[in-house]
Structures are given as C-alpha cells and as structure tokens.
Structure 1
Amino acid sequence: MASVSITPLLKLLAQYQDADSKVVTKDIITEVTAAFAAILGQNEVSDNQRAALLTALTFSGLYYDSQIVSAVVNIMRGAAVRVPIDFHDKEFATKKRLLKRNNYHGGFVDIVGTGGDGHNTFNVSTTSALLASPYLLVAKHGNRAATSVSGSSDMISALAGGPFILNVPPAAVGKILTEYSNLAFLFAPTYHTSLGSLARVRKELGFSTIFNVVGPLSNPIEGIEARILGVKNPELGKVFSEVLQLMGCQKGMVVCGDVGKGLDEISPCGKTFCWRLVAAPPGSPPGTLATIEEFELHPVKDFGVSLHPLEECKSLSPEANADIVRSILRNEVPAGNPIMDYCLINSAALLVVAGVTDDWKEAVELIKQGLREQASLKQWEGYLSGCKFYEKTPEVAVANGVTPAAGDATANGTNGAH
C-alpha cells in the first residue's frame, strides 16, 4: 500500500485552533476528505497521524461541523461493502409498488440513535423498526452496545436465538428483502470493514471521535428514502439535520428528547425537540436541498398516548429485552404499557416522516393495527427464515462474489446502540 502523509492537514487544523476567527475553509474540507479517503481506502496513514487527526477534530470541535461530517460520511459510505440489490428486478419492483402509500414511495427507511446519552433506555429504535416493517421497507443499521446494556445487534441476536442473524452476507440481503420480508438488519462491522484497522487507535484515545458521529449516518444501502436520527443533546440537532440536508436527504427527522442533557429518541415522558427535513416542492431544479423545520412533539398532544417516566423504559439484558419485544410482536402487551407506548410513538413517527400518513395519531393506530393483525411478527419471522436459509446455503448467498467480513469487529463502534 502507498504511504500517505497528512501533515499539511494537521498544520491547517493547528492554524484553525489558534485562529481568533474560526472559519472552516475550503482547503480544510478538501484536505479532510482526502485524508479520510486515504485512511479508509488502500493508502496507509501512520497510527500517529491518524490519532493526531482524530484528536485535532475532536478538541477543535470540528468533528461536529456539518460540512466535515457530511464529507466523512460520503467517504465512509463509499468505502463500505456494497449491498447488491437489483432495483429493476420485477419481484423487488412489485414489492416496492405494493408498499407505496400516500407520499411514501416504497424506498428504504432507517431509524437509529447516536447512543451515548447515558440514559440506558430500552432498544426502542430497533423495536420501532420491527413495528413499522408491515408498512415500510426497513434497512436497520446497527451494532453492539458501546455504552448501554443492550445494543441493537445484541437484542436482535437474542430475539433470533443466536448470532447467526448477524452473519448474513451482503449478497443475501436483496433476496431476503425480495422473497422473505420487508425487513433487513445491516450489522455495521460487516459493511464498514475498513474501520477494523482503526479499532486499536480509537481504543487508546479513549474519547469520542468523528467515527462515533458519522456511524449513525453511514447506512451502506442505496435508495434510502427516509430516516429518523436521534441525537444525545439538542445542540447536535441542527448539526445533524444540516448533514442530512447536505447529503441530499429529502425526508428525514433529527430528534432529541428533553430529558436531562438529552435523549436520543422521541421521549415518552415529555417534549421532544425535532428538526424535520421538508422535501423541495415538485418542479424544483435538480439538486435543490430540503428545508429544515424546527418544532416539538409531545406524547399526549401529538400521539395520543400517556406520559411515562423514563425509569419505566430502562434497558434490561439483551435476553430480557428480546422477551419484551417478542411479547409486543405477539400483541400480548396491554395497552398503556410504558415500553409499548415508547415504541409506538417512535415507530409512528417513522411512518409520518416516510410519508405513509401526515397524522401522528393515525400513524399510532396503523402500528397498533399491524400488531393486532400480527403483521409485524410476520415480517420478523420472514426475515428470520431468510437468514436461516442463507446460513444453510452460503453458496447461494455469495453468488455475487461478496463475502461477509471476517472476525468480530465490535470495536468498530459505527452506530448507535438502540
């Protein structure tokens, strides 16, 4: 591999740190883009320089700059293992057409929290993805726990009865989505393999870096129509909404619950700050960015559900959380249950952001209907069947020449925990 020096960039960042007026110049953006292309590509950057870059971005605050974050996200997604999906396949196109409803066009959706809010709440984003799957094509990006008791993939593994659910090769995802389910779980280390070489550097640094920021934005699948992203404090709301805007996202919402310093989901116990991307009107010139609308949501006023203390929505072990999710999918959890309502408001919001309905309360009723009809359970069982099939027939899964990532890359830390 070619060796690359990022010393010019490190000098630029030192000048930025010392400057009285903090201006993110075009040169900084260009050099940051080139540096991360080298770090995540085939060029070798020394551990010392990689550590220096991550440290400089964190302590200058630039790891929260929307221009820099969007540039690194683009590099991350470009370096990720591809999910080979034939969008022209007749069966897949038929599935998308049947899912179309109102302003939802049948594209992929995701819902994820950045993690790190310190509240150790239930796996609400992952559960919400399951609940919304009868109505949406869900590509849930997730990882193991970094700061909470039960990460997204920890709970999914427990719900499936084993970690095999995480080992689905990218080449199998399209077939599973076409033939088995509206749902796919994209285990981050399988797709962001280039982060494996950074694990030791990040561990030795011991603080959050830009990779903790870009992970939730780096879903590797193409054709994402809508997404909800939870952030751990309100100051990040505008930043992340601007990043989504710069990425060309037309349907999205960044949320932060007004609990303590912040909750990276829609809060069950009070108001939630929201930054919603509103699509450019029909007929707008190509490349017109969405606008950002700021408002608040409230469980009672907007969703028609009761308030619940956050203490009643805490995470247990992955196995205990999976038992709760199993009961929810079987429609065995009584109305008014705190965790049930917590999941209802977050999954309903995903339906609204995607465009299935523009009414928050109607969205709650649609999720409840899916549970009564066990439609969410059917989607989960379909996904489970597809994963088991491709586990037993790996030669089919690698037909496109894509193989799963080797080893346990838990330290990648590319996504939120919920």
Structure 2
Amino acid sequence: MSSSQLERQEIISIAPLLNRLAHSNAVDISPDEIASTFKLLLSNRVSNIQSASFLSLLAYTGKDGQADVIAKCAYYMRDAACQIDQSSLHDVVKAKGEPKGDYKGGLCDIVGTGGDSHSTFNVSTAASIIASPILMMAKHGSRAQTSSSGSADLLKAIQPTAPNIDAINERNIVEVYQETNYAFLFASNFHSAMAHINPLRKALGIRTIFNLMGPLVNPLDWAIEARVVGVAHQSLGPVFAEALKEGGVRNALVVCGEENLDEISCAGPTNCWKISGPKQMSVQDDGSSENSAQAPVQIDVFQLHPSDFGLPTHPLASVFPGRNPKENAIKLMSILRGEVSPGDPVLDFVLMNVAALLVISGVCESDASDAEPNGQAITERGPGGGRWKEGLRRARWAIDSGRALTCLERFIEVTNRLPREC
C-alpha cells in the first residue's frame, strides 16, 4: 500500500469543531469550516461516531439549512463524484442538442428533494422522459429514501424490459448520449463516496444535510443548462434558490406546492423562485471553461396555479395511482402510450411539471412562425413572464406524437447493450 493510500485512510479528529457546535451558538463557525469537515466525511477520514455527531449537530443548530453551507457542501460532493470527460460530453451534446428559442441545446434536469410525506406519483421521473424529445435530459435520481417508489425503483419496474440503469457510469455516459437524448444518472453509480456514509445515515435515523443534496449534486451539474427543483417545505424555497445561485446556477425554477409538495401542485397554488442570469461558466469546444461577463443574477418570486397552464385542479388524493414501483410503472407506460384520457389527474399533474421545465429551458420562447412541434405557438404569458400554456402544448405533443415513448424505448435498448460490470 502506497503512502498516499495510507494518508487517505488516516482518521482525523473533528472534536474541536463538535465542541464549538455543541457548546456555543455556532455563530462564529463559518460555512467553509463546515464544508471542509463535510469533505473529510466524504473521504472517509472521520470516525463513525464523530461523523454521526457532526451530522446531528448540523441539524440541531440549523446550520445544514443555510444556503451557503448547502452550496459549499454540494460543491465538495460533486467534486467527490466520478468525473466524466467534459470535452467528449460537450461534443456529443453540441452535436445532438436542438437549440430553439432561448434554449441552447444543453442538458436539463427535473428533480425533487423528497420528504414531503405525500407519496404521490413519480412526477419528476415521468416529466424527464416526456421532455426528452424536446430537451437533452440528464435525470439524476436514486432509490426511495422517504417514499415507497423512488425514481430508480420506478425505472427498474418497467415491463417487459427495464432500462439497465445499473450499467450507466462515468465511462459510458457519453456513449449513451450518442444514441439517445435521455440518460438517467443513478446516484449510487456516480457517488461512490456514499457507500460508507449510507449505513451511517440509516443507523442515525434522522434527516441530515444529505437529504437535501440530491437536487444539487447531479454528476453533470457543470453541463446543466436548465433545471426545475422541487423542495418539500416552504422554508427551503428561498434557501435552495440562494444555494443554486451561489453554486453558479443561472437558469432554474425552485418550486414548492402550497401543501409542502416538492412538485408543481395539481391541487392549487405553487410557490416559485426563479433564478435567472448569465451563466457564470461556459464550456468551450475543447472542454475548457471560460468566465463570461458578470451581471446581476435575479431571484423572482411568484405563484403558479393549474389554471395558468389551462388545467383544472385535482385533489392530491387523486394522484396516488399506486403505492409501489410496479403500479407506478404501469401508469407511466399507459401515459406514454397515449392510453390515458385527457383530464386524468395524474396526466395533468405530470404535464404541468413537464411544461414548467420546457418554459424554464427557454424552448417556449421560439417565435410563433417557428413553432416546433408543429402547430401554432401560444404566446400568452402568465406569472413570472412564462409561457406556461405553450409549455403544456409542447408537453402534450411529446406524448401524442409518440416521441416520448420512442425516447424511453431507445434508452432501454441502449442501456441493455452496455456491459454488465461485476
């Protein structure tokens, strides 16, 4: 074993920081101190008992709910993830992405924190698939943590053949994008540092800062052009907006249904925080990064309602099609095959969230004379200046044309050709 390997395994005591967290008001503890300790946890340099104490004290002091702490910890978690060849990915996304309106053809994601206790349908996963004929999608997800059906659980339950999401990794993700607009980045395949942390989280039995990390640690974060992030509690809305802004995100919509739902609600108002501004970094043709001109980044706050999409409301009780992945997968495939009647509560629920992603991506800003998919663009604007009804029109087209189903079938085919590694 080399000296560098021994050094990596050396355990470091964080007792001084724990004492300050436990015996003071923690005001003098900086986000950088917390993030540096968080980095040590990721590299397995802290004992289990001190790691558990650290995570518990962050929750007790409320430090893990601060935007700057979340942003800095998310940075280190992304840095610890398996790294993808940026130049190769840039080339394939540039070749395959279809710019339209204000959308430049880059990768997009739609994801929620989970933990809202509503156990509704897998909206963000379904929405990511339906959006894929129009946008290049990089859906980040995992197994269920706080519900009965997580995004990975849903995809694994698709019949007769499920996508082989276990086979996708940093070495073949570019190959996947060469053949399809859609990719699912299974968190356990890309965040190997979590292997030693997950048993500790499970044993600890409380929500920790890791429960907030999912929407912020997409392994392709540097290449994400637009995203929708759902949060499970109203207080997290402004926190996540600030964390995304601090992390360099310049095009995102944070949403929280009035019922503390981490999706755009089908039952009534949804509170929204829109982050907009010039991208802080851009990836060049050679894969290098370049700073763009700096300008103010805005966070606009507004509400969305189903009526803004031209849809009726549906009670949340109507969007529980199944309590397990198999039933939810059956519903998903029925939607994609066009077997679900217009006005179905789950269909409307999903369509609104697809529409929001399309609006935030900028694709709905294309001129009426250039309205793709075929049809007359709806130019009406709603809250936050978004063309929400136009987003819905395009979302319906993705299903009605059969293109969303085709994209999923292509993803299934491609991933099942990938080698199954031991």
User: What interval of TM-score do these two structures reach, taking the shorter chain for normalisation?
Assistant: 0.7 to 0.9
Q: In the alignment, what sits opposite 1:35?
A: 37
Kept in 1, the 8 Å contact 2:35–2:73? The answer is: yes
- SS of residue paired to 1:171: coil
Kept in 2, the 8 Å contact 1:12–1:28? The answer is: no
Kept in 1, the 8 Å contact 2:32–2:69? The answer is: no
Post-superposition offset of 1:54: 0.3
Post-superposition offset of 1:126: 0.2
Superposed counterparts of 1:11-90, under 5 Å: 11-15=19-23, 18-19=24-25, 23=27, 25=28, 27-41=29-43, 44-87=45-88
Higher relative contact order (CA 8 A, sep 6+): 1
Kept in 2, the 8 Å contact 1:87–1:93? The answer is: no
Question: Which consecutive unaligned segments of at least 5 residues does structure 2 have?
Answer: 1-8, 281-290, 365-385
Q: In the alignment, what sits opposite 1:415?
A: none
CA distance in 2, matches of 1:154, 1:193: 19
Post-superposition offset of 1:29: 1.9
Q: CA RMSD in A?
A: 2.0
Q: In the alignment, what sits opposite 1:121?
A: 120
Kept in 2, the 8 Å contact 1:39–1:45? The answer is: yes
Kept in 2, the 8 Å contact 1:67–1:243? The answer is: yes
Q: In the alignment, what sits opposite 1:2?
A: 10
Query: Which amino acid letter does the alignment assign opposite residue 318 of structure 2?
Result: E
Question: Which consecutive unaligned segments of at least 5 residues does structure 1 have?
Answer: 395-403, 407-418
Post-superposition offset of 1:270: 0.4
Cα-to-partner distance string for 1:99-133 (whole Å, 9 max, x where unaligned): 11111111111111111111110000000001110
* Between 328-337 and 167-176, the greater mean CA deviation after superposition: 167-176
Q: In the alignment, what sits opposite 2:391?
A: 363
* Between 76-85 and 343-352, the greater mean CA deviation after superposition: 76-85
> How many residues align structurally?
380
Query: Which amino acid letter does the alignment assign opposite residue 75 of structure 1?
Result: Y
CA distance in 2, matches of 1:85, 1:323: 36
TM value normalised by structure 2: 0.85
Query: Which amino acid letter does the alignment assign opposite residue 34 of structure 2?
Result: V
Kept in 2, the 8 Å contact 1:245–1:289? The answer is: no
Post-superposition offset of 1:163: 6.9
Superposed counterparts of 1:246-257, under 5 Å: 246-257=246-257
Identity %: 38
Post-superposition offset of 1:166: 2.8
Q: In the alignment, what sits opposite 1:414?
A: none
Q: In the alignment, what sits opposite 2:360?
A: 353
- SS of residue paired to 1:385: helix
* Between 329-338 and 78-87, the greater mean CA deviation after superposition: 78-87
Q: In the alignment, what sits opposite 1:210?
A: 209
Kept in 1, the 8 Å contact 2:82–2:190? The answer is: yes
2:302 maps to 1:295: yes
2:274 maps to 1:276: yes
Kept in 1, the 8 Å contact 2:77–2:217? The answer is: yes
Q: In the alignment, what sits opposite 1:225?
A: 225
User: Cα–Cα, structure 1 residues 162 and 205, in superposed 2: closer, same or farther, change >3 Å?
Assistant: same
Cα-to-partner distance string for 1:346-388 (whole Å, 9 max, x where unaligned): 0000001111114110010011111111111111111111101
Q: In the alignment, what sits opposite 2:285?
A: none
2:102 maps to 1:103: yes
CA distance in 1, matches of 2:401, 2:189: 34
Post-superposition offset of 1:170: 2.5
* Between 112-121 and 79-88, the greater mean CA deviation after superposition: 79-88
Cα-to-partner distance string for 1:23-75 (whole Å, 9 max, x where unaligned): 3x4x522221221222112x521111101100110011111111111110000
Query: Which amino acid letter does the alignment assign opposite residue 332 of structure 1?
Result: E
User: Cα–Cα, structure 1 residues 281 and 38, in superposed 2: closer, same or farther, change >3 Å?
Assistant: closer
Cα-to-partner distance string for 1:320-341 (whole Å, 9 max, x where unaligned): 1111111111112111110000
Query: Which amino acid letter does the alignment assign opposite residue 215 of structure 1?
Result: G
CA distance in 1, matches of 2:42, 2:344: 45
Kept in 1, the 8 Å contact 2:153–2:325? The answer is: yes
CA distance in 2, matches of 1:351, 1:80: 28
2:201 maps to 1:173: no
- SS of residue paired to 1:159: coil
User: Cα–Cα, structure 1 residues 89 and 129, in superposed 2: closer, same or farther, change >3 Å?
Assistant: closer
